[in-house]
Amino acid sequence: MAKCPIIAAVGLVSAALVTQTLTAAEVVTPASASTEAASSGANGGKTLGFVVKDWMPAVYETKFMDECPAGLNISNDEIWWRDLTKQQRSELTQDGLITTLDRWFTARSRGPNGEDICINPHLITDDPPLLTVEGPTAFGINLDGNVDGNATPNSCAHENFSSPDGVPGVDNQLYRLIGCIYGYREQGVIDINANEMRRTSGLAMILIEVEGVDNERNDDDVIITFYRSIDQFPLDSAGNVLPYASYRVDYTDAGPRYGDSIKGRIVDGVLLSDSGDVQLPYYGNYNYMHPVIRDMSIRLDISEDGGQSLGLVSGYYDLEQYLYLTGGLGPVISTGNFSCPAFFEAAKKMADGYPDPETGECTHISSSFEISTYAAFIIHPEQTDETETAER
Amino acid sequence: MSFKTYIRSCTAIALTASLFFLSACSEPEPATNGAPPDMRLLTSEQYRNIIHDVFGEHIEIAGRFDPLVRTDGLFAVGARSAPITPKGFEEYYNVARSIARQVVNEENKLVLIPCEPVDASRADEACSRQFFTDVGRALYRRPLTDSELETAVDASGKVADELGGFYEGVEFGLTGLLVTPNFLFIIDATEQDSSAAGGVRLTGYAKASRLSFLLWNTSPDDMLLEAAAAGDLHSEKGLVREVDRMMNSIRLERGVRAFFEDFLDLERFENLEKDTIIYPAYSINAAESAKEQLLLTIVDHVVDKDAAYPELFTTRETFMDEHLGRIYKIPVTRPDGGWERYEFPADDRRAGILTQMGFLSLFSHPGKSSPTLRGKAVRELLLCQKVPDPPAEVDFSLFNDPNAPSRTARDRLTAHSTAPSCAGCHKLTDPIGLGFEQFDSIGQFRVAEQGVEIDPSGDLDGLAYSDAKSLAQAMHDHPGAPACLTNQMYSYAAGRAPGRGEREFVRYLEANFSESGHSLKVLLRNIASSDALYMVTKPEQGPDGVRAASLKDSSNKERGS
C-alpha cells in the first residue's frame, strides 16, 4: 500500500557511529561493534554520524490509487500532441520516425515563440489544470500547529491530511501537488535519477551529526547539525554505499559552509528533533541548490548495525527553489508526465507556508522527504590538523 | 672470527659504547663450515628493484615470471632450486626486450646511455663499450669479463649495422644481458683462499650481492661494488663499514619489507579472494591496503622505532587508510586516500599484527573465517613448527553440514576433530585459531556467529588466553617466536636452512637477539656482519658438472676482484 515505510517502521534497534578525533586519547571502536565508543561531543557524550544517501519526496500511495480519483496527469508532450493537426504530426515526426524523446524536446518548446515552457511556464495559460491529491492521508507532520487547516501567522489556509496512523493535522502540500504525477510516484524515476546522480557524483553530500549522546537508545537532549561533505560515497562491488566511511566536512575560512543545528532527542532508538531553519545542499537532475528548509525537523530510525537507517525530513520548502528545481529537471521530465505550466499554477495555490507580508501569498510549501542514511564518521578540519599524518 | 679480531672489535666497542657491538660481543661467533656455493633465481621483486635502480622507476616491467616454490618456509630458499622452464624463459625474454626498448627509446636514451654515437645509423663501438661496461657491472653485480663485454659489444655492433641503427644494436645487446644466468641468478662465485677452512671463499662481489640482497633486496650499489673490488669485504673492518652504511640507508626498509613479505607468506595476497556478497566492504583495494598496513606497521616498529620484535604482536600502533577504516569501523581523516598513523585504544579488541585485516583475511576462507588456517599460520610461519598436511580421506561433512546443530566454528571443529585422523593436527592449530574467531573472514569484529556468542578463549602451548588480544600477549611471551624469526632470517640471508654445523651459530644469534631486547636491527646486523653468512665449502661436483663449471668460470674470470 504505502511507498514510504518510515512512519510505520518501528522497533528498529539503535546504534550509530561515533565521530571523533584520531588523537591517541580519543580513538574509539565503532559503536556497532562495541558500546565502549567514547568521544566527547560539543556538550559531552558521544557523537553519532550519518551520511544521507537517498532523498525523495514522501508520497503516500494506496493500492487502488484512491488518492487520485481522476487518475494521473498526462504528459506535456501529450498535451502538445493533442492540439496538433494531422499534417503537423506527420511533419514533426517524419511520418512517425522520430522518437518520443525527440518529440518531447519539441513539445517542451511550445511557447508562443518556441520558448521552453518549463522555464517560462507563464506563457501557457490554457493547459488542463494539474490533477492533485484528494485523499485524506499523507506522510508528514503538523507544521503549523493546527488541525483545522485555517491560516496562522506563518501559514495560509489549506486542507490538512492525517498520517497513516490517524494523527490529524499533517501538513504536506508538496505531496498534494505531486502525488498524482507518475514521475514522482513509486514507479517514477525523477527522484531515483536524482539520487543516482548524487550517488555517483558526490555532489551535495549531506552529513548529519548528533552530538551529546549519553545513551544511544534514549537521550532527551542532543544537538543535531547538518553539514555538507567534500567526500564521495565509497561503494562496494555492487555499487552500494558502504557504511562506516569517513567524510570530511566542507569548511571555508569562516567555518563550515553548512552547519545549521537543531535540538533533538532519541526515543527508543529513534532520533527526533525540534524544528528550525536548516540550509542544505541539494543536487539532482542537473540542478545544484542551497535551499533553506524552514521549520525543518527530522525523524531517523537508527540502524543498529550501521546499515541503512530510514528517516523523514519535514519542513517548509521554499517554493521558488522547488519550482526552479522542477523547471530545470532536464530530460528526465519527459518521464514525469505533467505539464509545467499547470504544475506551476497549482504550486502557487498549494503554497501554505510563510505568507508574503505584502501580498499575503504563501512563499513556502509544506513538505516531507524520505531519507536513507548510513553510519559515517564525520571529520572536521581540526581533527585532520591534529592527526599525525604518515609520511609514507 | 678469530680471537684476535674478537678482542680488537671489543676494544672498539668499548670506545664507541655501541649497543650493537656490546650485544654482539657477549661471546665470540661460533665457527661454521658454511655450505657449497649455490645460485638463486632472482625473485620478481628483486628483478624489479634492480631494473628500477639501474634504469629508473619509470621503466615499466610488464610481465609475470614463474612463481618460486616456498621451501623451508621461505621463497628465498626455494629460489635455490628454481628452474627456468622454456615458457618461463620466454617470459624473461619478453620482459627483457620490453625493458631494452624503453631504455633506448627517444624519451630515455639520452639519459640512460652515457654517450652519443658518432652516427646513430651505424654501430659505435666506443659508445657501446662504455654503455655495456657500466650497465653490465650493475646488472651482473660484478664487472663483465672481457669475453662477456666483447660478446655484448660485438652483437650490438652487428645488429646496429644490420638494422641501420646504433640504438637498435644496444637494445639487442641489453636484451641479451637481461636473459643470461649471470643476471637472473645470484651466483655464489668463489675464489681460492688458503686461509679458509675449505680452501675457498666467496668472491668480494658475491659477498656484496649476498649483503645487498639481504639488506636492500636489490643489487649492490656503486660503493658496495667498489668495496668488493678493493677486497674490503674480506676484512671485518671493511665489511662492518659497509653493513653500517647500508643499515643506515633508507633502502633498509625495502630489505626488511622483502624479508617479512617472505616470512609471513604475503605473496598469498596475489590470489586472495573473498565473497563480496557476504563481505561487501572487501575489495582488491582493501586487500592491498591490508597488506600494506602489515608492512607499514612492521617497518615502523622494527626499523624506524627499533622496538622489540615480540611487541609486534601487541603493539597498538598502526596505520590506517580509507579502505581499512570502513572495515575496522574507525574514522580516517583522509578519506580521499593516504595513510595516517593510528593507535588502537588500550581497551580495544585489537592489538598487534595478528589482529590486523592482513593476517586475518589471508588465513581465512573466501566466505568464512578459518581457525585451522589461522592456527596453522601461527604454528608454521611464526613459530616454525610443522603442521602435517591433512589426510587424503578427510571427511569434511560434519564441518560443512549447514543443517548441523553446531553454529560456531568452535562447535563445528569440535565435531570434526573427533575423527582420530583429524584430531592430531587440529589440536595443534585450532586452539590458536579459535582465539581469532571474533574476527570474520576479512577481519571485521563480531561478537556472535549465527546468533551464538563466540568464545575466543584457548591455550597456546600452556599460555592460556581469553581472546585475540590476550592470545597476542601469549605470542609476545612465546619463546618460540624470536627463535623462529632468527632461524628464518638467517635462512633468508643464506638462501638455505641452517646446516647441522650452524646450529650453535643460530643459538648465538638468538642469544644476541635476546640480549638486544629483540632488536631486529641488531639481529640483521649480526647476520650481515657475521663470518657464517659468507662461509662456503668447495663447490660440489655434480654428475653433469654443470653447476661446478659455471661457478668456476665466473669465479676465475672476474675482473677487479
Q: Does residue B40 carry a pLDDT above 70?
A: yes
Q: What is the pLDDT of residue B375?
A: 93
Compare CB distances from B280 to A24, A240, A245 and report the shortest one's residue: A240
B340 with A388: Cβ contact below 8 A: yes
Structure confidence at residue B418 as a pLDDT band (50, 70, 90): low
- All residues of chain B having their beta carbon less than 8 Å from the beta carbon of residue A378 are 331
A29 with B349: Cβ contact below 8 A: yes
Amino acid at A5: P
- Residue-wise pLDDT for A80-113, tens only, equals 888 888 888 888 777 877 665 567 778 888 899 9
B280 with A22: Cβ contact below 8 A: no
- The answer to whether B335 faces chain A, any CB pair under 8 Å, is yes
Scanning B144-251, the segments in alpha helix (DSSP H) are 146-163, 166-178, 181-184, 204-215, 222-229, 236-247
Helix pair A100-108, A86-93: axis angle to 10 deg: 120
Compare CB distances from A27 to B276, B334, B344 and report the shortest one's residue: B344
Q: What is the pTM of this model?
A: 0.82
- The answer to whether B326 faces chain A, any CB pair under 8 Å, is yes
Which position has the higher pLDDT, A169 or B390? Answer: A169
Q: Does residue B380 carry a pLDDT above 90?
A: yes
Q: What is the pLDDT of residue B540?
A: 67
Q: What is the pLDDT of residue A138?
A: 98
Structure confidence at residue B542 as a pLDDT band (50, 70, 90): low
Structure confidence at residue A117 as a pLDDT band (50, 70, 90): very high
- Residues A250 and A261: their CA atoms lie apart, in Å, by 15
Q: What is the pLDDT of residue B138?
A: 97
B347 with A383: Cβ contact below 8 A: no
Structure confidence at residue B419 as a pLDDT band (50, 70, 90): low
- Residues B463 and B173: their CA atoms lie apart, in Å, by 61
Q: Does residue A2 carry a pLDDT above 80?
A: no
In B, minimum Cα distance to A242 occurs at: B281
Contact B357, B290 (CB under 8 A): yes
When pLDDT is averaged across residues B458-482 and rounded to a whole number, the result is: 91
Minimum mean pLDDT range among A19-28, A84-93, A340-349, B428-437: A19-28
ipTM of the prediction: 0.75
Q: What is the pLDDT of residue A174?
A: 98
- All residues of chain B having their beta carbon less than 8 Å from the beta carbon of residue A306 are 329
Give A247's contacts (C-beta < 8 A, 6+ positions apart): A49, A51, A205, A207, A229, A230, A231, A376, A377, A378, A379, B335
- Residues A342 and A123: their CA atoms lie apart, in Å, by 11
> Rounded to 5 degrees, what are φ and ψ at A389?
-95, 135
Q: What is the pLDDT of residue B431?
A: 83
Return the residue matching grid coordinates 635462512: B491
- Residue-wise pLDDT for B142-172, tens only, equals 999 999 999 999 999 999 998 889 999 999 9
Cα four-point dihedral sign B381, B74, B440, A374: positive
Structure confidence at residue B453 as a pLDDT band (50, 70, 90): confident
- Residue-wise pLDDT for A139-169, tens only, equals 999 999 999 999 999 999 999 999 999 999 9
The CA distance from B95 to the nearest CA of chain A, in Å, is: 29
- All residues of chain A having their beta carbon less than 8 Å from the beta carbon of residue B325 are 244-246, 377
Structure confidence at residue B397 as a pLDDT band (50, 70, 90): low
> Rounded to 5 degrees, what are φ and ψ at A50?
-140, 150
Which grid coordinates belong to B426? 587440529
Other Cβ atoms closer than 10 A to A62: 12
In B, minimum Cα distance to A229 occurs at: B335
Other Cβ atoms closer than 10 A to A66: 13
B325 with A377: Cβ contact below 8 A: yes
Compare CB distances from B445 to A19, A33, A237 and report the shortest one's residue: A33
- All residues of chain A having their beta carbon less than 8 Å from the beta carbon of residue B285 are none
Long-range contact pairs involving B479-482 (C-beta distance under 8 Å, separation at least 24): B480/B383, B480/B384, B480/B385, B481/B309, B481/B310, B481/B313, B481/B382, B481/B383, B482/B309, B482/B310, B482/B510, B482/B513, B482/B514, B482/B518
Residues of A with CB under 8 A from a CB of B: 17, 19-20, 22, 24, 27-30, 32-34, 36, 231, 234, 236-238, 240, 242-248, 306, 377-379, 383-384, 387-390, 392
When pLDDT is averaged across residues B269-293 and rounded to a whole number, the result is: 95
Q: What is the pLDDT of residue A26?
A: 29
Q: What is the pLDDT of residue B116?
A: 92
Compare CB distances from A390 to B280, B336, B341 and report the shortest one's residue: B341
Give A78's contacts (C-beta < 8 A, 6+ positions apart): A337
Q: What is the pLDDT of residue B433?
A: 87
B332 with A377: Cβ contact below 8 A: yes
- Residues A272 and A208: their CA atoms lie apart, in Å, by 13
Structure confidence at residue B195 as a pLDDT band (50, 70, 90): confident
Cα B507 to Cα B210, B484, B498, distances in angstroms: 22, 11, 11
- Residue-wise pLDDT for A226-251, tens only, equals 999 999 999 998 889 999 999 999 99
Average pLDDT, chain B: 88
In B, minimum Cα distance to A378 occurs at: B331
CB pairs under 8 A between A and B: 109
- The answer to whether B446 faces chain A, any CB pair under 8 Å, is yes
- All residues of chain B having their beta carbon less than 8 Å from the beta carbon of residue A250 are none
In B, minimum Cα distance to A377 occurs at: B331
Helix pair B236-247, B3-16: axis angle to 10 deg: 40
Which position has the higher pLDDT, A111 or B198? Answer: A111
Helix pair B44-55, B252-263: axis angle to 10 deg: 160
B339 with A22: Cβ contact below 8 A: no
In B, minimum Cα distance to A390 occurs at: B340
Structure confidence at residue A29 as a pLDDT band (50, 70, 90): very low
For B27, counting Cβ atoms within 10 Å of its Cβ (0-12 exposed, 13-18 middle, 19+ buried), the class is exposed
* Pairing state between β A245-248 and A362-379: parallel
The CA distance from B281 to the nearest CA of chain A, in Å, is: 6
Q: Does residue B488 carry a pLDDT above 80?
A: yes
Other Cβ atoms closer than 10 A to B208: 27
When pLDDT is averaged across residues B20-35 and rounded to a whole number, the result is: 70
Q: What is the pLDDT of residue B461?
A: 85
Minimum mean pLDDT range among A170-184, A361-375, B429-443, B522-536: B429-443
Q: What is the pLDDT of residue B258?
A: 98
Q: What is the pLDDT of residue B477?
A: 94
Q: What is the pLDDT of residue A386?
A: 53
A24 with B343: Cβ contact below 8 A: yes
- All residues of chain A having their beta carbon less than 8 Å from the beta carbon of residue B456 are none
